[in-house]
Every structure is written in structure tokens, then in C-alpha cells.
């Protein structure tokens, strides 16, 4: 599945990034919307970061919002928030605008507002120690040096679920920063689009807390694309 917004990020002039509209309204409340889960994408805001491997958590939320017809973003909780449903479950998608190192502050604000516990939070993030375009899910655990996870751990504890999206290790620690903060190559965009499409298509299993089914079905979709 190819997303036009993903391809557009390679355009020579980028003014605005999908899911981060400068003119998004500031939330004036959420009415009767009461999410049962908060899904947080980890990344950095702004066009210059948009295609970084470190921003694949933002990309995952954008694809979920598009495929499941979430409402347009609002500025809330120090980020961009979107409400919607996946299956029967009400989900809030949240992309912190606090930059990676302070992502937990945004997640904490949303949790407190909706009176939810850390177990209701799922973080989508890049994972060095996982092969590129592979996806694993786990709850709890360490941060493995990931600054976004460190911030979440500091603000909400470590009992949240993580959707780990593999970016692979460059092979030497001196190359890690450049790899993580480097753009996906143009040659990778088709596979990246396939992965984001698979994550979005199988997101209902995440909403139902069937992590094993989510992982197996995403893997199957990626095999079918090979």
C-alpha cells in the first residue's frame, strides 16, 4: 500500500508534514469522546525530521489515522491528537510536539485528562535491535537507550505496550546516530509503505490486545509483498 503523503515527503519543497498541520485547531474539548486506549507515536516534529528512521512511530500513526478514517488532528496535550475508532474501540492517536526527549510529558497529559493508566498506552517507535521492516510487540521492559522510551518511562512508568518497528543496526556504535537520524532511502519507500499499510490494516488486533495475531498478520502481509 503506497501513501501519497509518504511519497510527498521527498518533494524538494516541503512546507507541512502530513498529520502535523500548522493550522490544526486547538482542542476546545473532546465532547463525549472517551478513549479506552492512547496510542503514542514517537518522533520529532517538523519537515526536516519527517523521513528520519527515528520518526517511523509518527509515520505509523499517520497511516493508522488515514486507513481508519480518524478525525483531523487537533493541537492538544503538547502535540497533535486525533480521535477515532478501530473496530469497536475508541482510540486517541497522539504525536507529541515536545521532541523525542520529552515525549512522556505529552503522554502523561493525555493520560491524566482521560484518567487512564499506563496499561492503556501503546508507544510506536523505531528499534535498532530489530531487522529493518520487522515488527515486534511487548509490554514493559527497558529503554535500550531510546530517548523517547526513557521519557515515557520517567513520566508514566514502564508498564506500557511498545510496538517496536525495526530499523536495523548499522554495525558499529559510532554509526548509530547517523543511522537513526538519517532519512529512509528512496529505494526503501515501497517497502516502508508496505509496512505502514500492514500495521494500519492489522491495527484492530492491537486494539483487541491480541498482540500475537497482530505480529503474525503483519509478517504475513510483508511476506506476500516480497
**Strands across the sheet containing 37-41:** 74-76, 79-86, 89-96, 37-41, 121-127, 161-166, 135-139
Q: What is the distance between the alpha carbons of residues 87 and 97, in angstroms, rounded to a whole number?
A: 28
**E-state strands within 18-108:** 37-41, 74-76, 79-86, 89-96
Instruction: Clarify whether 54 is annotated catalytic.
Output: yes
Give the CA dihedral 212, 89, 16, 100, nearest 10 degrees. Answer: -60
CB-based contact 132:194 (threshold 8 Å): no
Given 18, 54, 68, 146, the catalytic residue: 54
Task: Quote the radius of gyration of the chain (alpha carbons, Å).
Answer: 16
Catalytic residues: 54
Amino acid at each position: 500500500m503506497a501513501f501519497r503523503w509518504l511519497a510527498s515527503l521527498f518533494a524538494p519543497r516541503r512546507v507541512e508534514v502530513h498529520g502535523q498541520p500548522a493550522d490544526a485547531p486547538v482542542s476546545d474539548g473532546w465532547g463525549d469522546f472517551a478513549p479506552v486506549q492512547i496510542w503514542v507515536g514517537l518522533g520529532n516534529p517538523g519537515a526536516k525530521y519527517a523521513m528520519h528512521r527515528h520518526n517511523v512511530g509518527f509515520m505509523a500513526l499517520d497511516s493508522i489515522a488515514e486507513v481508519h478514517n480518524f478525525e483531523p488532528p487537533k493541537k492538544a496535550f503538547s502535540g497533535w491528537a486525533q480521535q477515532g475508532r478501530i473496530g469497536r474501540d475508541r482510540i486517541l492517536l497522539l504525536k507529541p510536539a515536545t521532541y523525542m526527549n520529552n515525549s512522556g510529558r505529552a503522554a502523561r497529559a493525555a493520560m491524566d485528562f482521560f484518567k487512564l493508566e499506563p496499561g492503556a498506552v501503546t508507544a510506536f517507535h523505531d528499534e535498532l535491535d530489530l531487522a529493518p521492516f520487522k515488527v515486534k510487540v511487548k509490554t514493559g521492559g527497558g529503554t535500550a537507550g531510546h530517548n523517547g522510551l526513557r521519557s515515557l518511562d520517567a513520566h508514566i512508568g514502564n508498564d506500557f505496550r511498545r510496538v517496536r518497528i525495526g530499523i536495523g543496526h548499522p554495525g558499529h556504535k559510532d554509526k548509530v546516530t547517523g543511522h537513526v537520524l538519517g532519512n529512509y532511502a528512496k529505494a526503501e519507500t515501497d517497502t516502508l509503505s508496505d509496512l505502514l499499510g500492514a500495521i494500519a490494516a492489522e491495527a484492530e488486533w492491537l486494539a483487541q490486545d491480541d498482540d500475537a495475531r497482530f505480529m503474525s498478520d503483519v509478517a504475513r502481509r510483508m511476506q506476500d509483498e516480497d
